[in-house]
Amino acid sequence: MKKPMDALGKAVDWISIAILVIIAVQMGLEVILRYGFNINLRWLEVTSIYLFFYLVLLPAGLLLRRREHLAITLLPDYLQAHHKTKLLWVWNLIISLVMLVFCVVTFYFTVEGLKTIIEMQSCYYEELFGHRVSLTITFSALLIGFFLLSIHALEALIICLRSRPQRSP
């Protein structure tokens, strides 16, 4: 299980780096064109905004996997040493369960929202290359992001269950 998850993590890392480079190049080009030549290409800005959704949501699962996400550590920091291992395990188990439930429920509602958007053919007001932009662009970022978060939350729960502290004699 570790190797496929590592490969997925590495792929998401590289995709995120590519998206960041594309956004940086697009914004740099937009600044040069706007202030240097008085040309405004709206599609550069719009595509950067949409790519930013992916840049935020794709690597979010990696932060969860590496335990680098925002966390409240007040309780574990103040536990006494002999209770710390067991209580910290229980704390991590609760956090992993809550994260998994949150990610799965959010993924479910994202799928339902995406179905509604596709049925209604909802669009943004912006135009990209003469066509109105569908809401499915950002909802697919949510869909992929919360799917990856769900996978990594499940992985965190499995790791937590496997690392259960041993009973002391």
Model-level pTM?
A: 0.70
Which pLDDT value is given to residue 10? 86
CA distance 127 to 100: 37
Which pLDDT value is given to residue 1? 60
Query: Residues with Cβ < 8 Å from 102, sequence gap 6 or more?
Result: 153
Show contacts of 113-119: CB within 8 Å, 24+ apart: 113/139, 113/142, 114/139, 114/140, 114/143
Which pLDDT value is given to residue 148? 85
Cite the DSSP H helix spans in 73-135: 74-78, 81-120
- Intervals of the chain under pLDDT 70: 1, 67-83, 123-131, 166-169
Which amino acid is present at 38?
A: N
Burial of 145 (0-12, 13-18, 19+ CB in 10 A): buried
Instruction: Tell me the domain boundaries of the chain.
Output: 2-162
Which pLDDT value is given to residue 68? 66
Which pLDDT value is given to residue 23? 92
DSSP bridge pairs for 134: 123
Which pLDDT value is given to residue 158? 86
Which pLDDT value is given to residue 76? 62
